[in-house]
Amino acid sequence: MSKKVLKGGEFLVKETDYKDVFIPEEYSEEQRMIAKSTSDFIAKDVRPFVERLDEHEEGLLRKMMEQAGELGLLGISIPEEYNGFGHNYVTSGYVAEQVAAGFCFSVAFSAHTGIATLPILYYGTEEQKQKYVSKLATGEYIGAYCLTEPGAGSDANSGKTKAIPTADGKHYIVNGQKMWITNGGIADVHIVFAKIEDDANLSAFIIERKWDGVVVNTEEKKMGIKGSSTTQIFYNDVKVPAENLLGVRGDGFKIALFILNIGRAKLASAVVGGCKSITTSAVNYANERKQFGKLISTFPAIQFKLAEQVIKTFAAESATVRTLQATDDAMQMYMEQGMDKKKASLEGIRQYGIEASILKVFASEALDYIVDEAVQIYGGMGYSAETDVERSYRDARINRIFEGTNEINRMVIVGELLKRAMKGELNLLQPAMEVAKELVGIPDFGNPLTDYYEVKHDLLKRFKKSILMVAGGAMQKLGAGLQEEQELLFNLADLIINTYVAESFVLRVQKLESMKGSEAVVLYKDMLDVFVYDAAWENYKTGVDAINSFAEGDEKRGMMMGIKRFTKVDDLNIKDARRRIAKKLVEDNKYSF
């Protein structure tokens, strides 16, 4: 391959060339046509009926899913031999972004196409894929992913659902209860996680709703995403054919975690779509509402909010698309090295589990900010159920809980980085030691940097040094006890998240300038300047908090000087920069960045 493909997490210790990243401005004509067809379907066949979905009108959600199947949207990333279109990870993410405008429908869509279908595609036998995936891809079957139990949420492997083999070995008898199951009320096929006999780890099974003993409870009443189907499901002596074991015995927990990595990246794509849609709604209203004889879009306080919505959306999109393409590139690289397609896909997705968690946290928290400020821009009308922003506000909240809570994902980010370092997959030790030496040495300030992107990349290098400094110091001081210091893990995770997203932002703008010239990116540089300026100050505060939580004496003093040096950023008139960003949004009257 001409591209240099970094391993997952390797961004922390290696630089990425802008030429090696993919940016949304590079979507192909075919990808844009697929996205347009998707958005047209959502506008015509979903959005006008969202209130009826919220009332759980009989058959409506299933009809919409079947329509999506007829259009091919459920099989975008499914291989052609299973009635799909065989498009890549990036394209499926682009589709998920368009579907997000469909509010609660997007939840049903994403659960079906991701966590309910892909376990069979990646871990199923050929017979299982022909029987189930080929029908899930067309919408003939609807799927659900059944992991959570009343006593097993974030600690999924503690689930109590049991599978007992029959004496002849031809079946398993499954008993248990699952809850918060998306698509539970309409799904024909369930991916069910259960422990076989007294196994320590879960196994996975494909169970059909029509089988005796499968009992689907009534629809849950929820704060948001009301129109999506969410139910409890009971399995009472369900007789499951042995050939419906998914993967091998005891691999269910591994399958569950792997599939959640896919879900997290896809969730970020959908969230980006939500961010764009709500930002457009906010500026539409600001351009219509007058107070004190003026449109509220002219007020600086409103412009601040609008600009922040744009910046956070653009940042989330930059990091998400970068990661999806990196996953596609890694899959391609592994196939070129001789791996079969299935193994290459599994390894490519595994590689970017760290980045998937980064995307999930950053994007979901960006959306929460954006919907909250949209309600504020609408004022009293934002609190009315007549507006889309009221529904968006309620719907958005689940994203910080879906696919592993943001707290769990923050711990995954740090834990997976350290685990890979311990296994020798990722060389963090040597760079951390070099940073430690730098702290006690005489700083080399060198010649002042003058090139715009050199300055930004220098700041990114220093951000990464701050992470290595804090992580290295914490590991040396606390050892295995670090895993119990959740506040410190969250500090480290936030440093990592800010750094990865900031780097993705820099690389996107740099590549965009190489494609379209400096005049085309003037406003994007404003956006980038504000983002990295804020990230630097956030990283400084976060780093100080982290250091104060474990370091003492000379070590602490050295690290405090280090965090100040590593996060130092040039002064910026962020007021004027934000006003310029808001001006463009107001003039366009929609998100068009």
DSSP per position, 483-522? GG-HHHHHHHHHHHHHHHHHHHHHHHHHHHHHHH-GGGGH
What does the block give as tokens for 26?
């590079």
DSSP assignment letter at 242: G
Q: Judge contact between 250 and 260, C-beta under 8 A.
A: no
**Region for 306 from its dihedrals, namely left if φ exceeds 0, alpha if ψ lies in -120 to 50, beta otherwise:** alpha
Residue type, 278: I
Angstrom distances, CA of residue 334 to CA of 90, 233, 301, 330, 426: 17, 39, 50, 6, 18
Between CA 391 and CA 380 the distance in angstroms is 14
For the chain, what is the mean pLDDT? Answer: 95
Angstrom distances, CA of residue 447 to CA of 301, 463, 564: 39, 20, 19
Q: Give the pLDDT of residue 2.
A: 56
Angstrom distances, CA of residue 538 to CA of 310, 430, 475, 564: 19, 26, 22, 12
- To which residue do tokens 């991916």 refer? 191
Q: Any residues with CB less than 8 A from the CB of 19 and at least 6 apart, and which?
A: 3, 511, 514
H/E stretch holding 165: strand 162-165
- Give DSSP secondary structure letters for 280-325: HHHHHHHTT-EETTEEGGGSHHHHHHHHHHHHHHHHHHHHHHHHHH
Residue type, 269: S
Angstrom distances, CA of residue 505 to CA of 176, 501, 531, 574, 584: 46, 6, 8, 17, 19
Residue of 496, 497, 499, 473 whose CA lies nearest to 485: 473
Between CA 112 and CA 189 the distance in angstroms is 10
Q: Give the pLDDT of residue 445.
A: 67
Q: Judge contact between 137 and 117, C-beta under 8 A.
A: yes
Catalytic hit among 403, 416, 454, 487: 403
Q: Judge contact between 282 and 122, C-beta under 8 A.
A: no
Q: Which domains does the chain have, with CATH numbers?
A: 25-141 (1.10.540.10), 144-250 (2.40.110.10), 253-408 (1.20.140.10), 428-588 (1.20.140.10)
SS3 call for 162: strand
Total Cβ atoms within 10 A of residue 571: 6
Q: Give the pLDDT of residue 447.
A: 76
H/E stretch holding 235: strand 230-241
Q: Give the pLDDT of residue 450.
A: 85
Q: Which residues of 453-463 are buried (b: 16+ CB within 10 A; e: fewer)?
A: beebbebbebb
Stretches in the chain below the pLDDT threshold 50: none
Q: Any residues with CB less than 8 A from the CB of 509 and at least 6 apart, and which?
A: 521, 524, 525, 527, 528
Q: Judge contact between 63 and 46, C-beta under 8 A.
A: no
Would the CA dihedral through 28, 31, 35, 36 be positive or negative?
A: positive
Q: Give the pLDDT of residue 157.
A: 86
**Region for 379 from its dihedrals, namely left if φ exceeds 0, alpha if ψ lies in -120 to 50, beta otherwise:** left
Active site residue 403: yes
